[in-house]
Amino acid sequence: SQTIHQWPATLVQPVGSPLSLECTVEGTSNPNLYWYRQAAGRGLQLLFYSVGIGQISSEVPQNLSASRPQDRQFILSSKKLLLSDSGFYLCAWSRLGAMGEKLFFGSGTQLSVL
């Protein structure tokens, strides 16, 4: 069966520090991968989308970047965090090429930038 791992679960970082969140998927090949952000009490905002290694689509201009160095690994990064980067970050995967396939979410990372 497929599983998705996301870490760390919580992170407190000072403004201006770098960020690296990692997500890995097991049990499937060539998944679509996603990073979403959820502000407190708000909906989910799509940040990045990837259909393959090295293929990243950025959905909104921001202080973050994403990379996909391996088929089932998706990394969210920042060189210098801003206060506004605080939020709940969720990694997700879906089956490649399937329109409207459901998303499977990781357990999320609660990021607090102070």
Partner 1 sequence: GQQVMQIPQYQHVQEGEDFTTYCNSSTTLSNIQWYKQRPGGHPVFLIQLVKSGEVKKQKRLTFQFGEAKKNSSLHITATQTTDVGTYFCAAPKTRNTGKLIFGQGTTLQVKP
Positions in the binding site for partner 1 (CB under 8 A):
32, 34, 36, 41-46, 49, 57, 59, 90, 94-95, 98-108
Burial code of 66-92, b = ≥16 C-beta within 10 A, e = fewer?
Answer: bbbeeebebbbebeebeeebbbbbbbb
If the CB atoms of residues 2 and 17 are measured against partner 1, the closer one turns out to be 2
CB of 78 to partner 1, least distance (A): 21
Residue whose token pair is 């202080």: 63
Q: How far is the CB of 88 from partner 1 (least distance, A)?
A: 9
Residue 34 near residue 93, CB atoms below 8 Å: yes
Element holding 48 (H helix, E strand): strand 44-52
For the CB of residue 105, give the shortest distance to partner 1 in the complex, in Å.
4
Closer by beta carbon to partner 1, 73 or else 94: 94
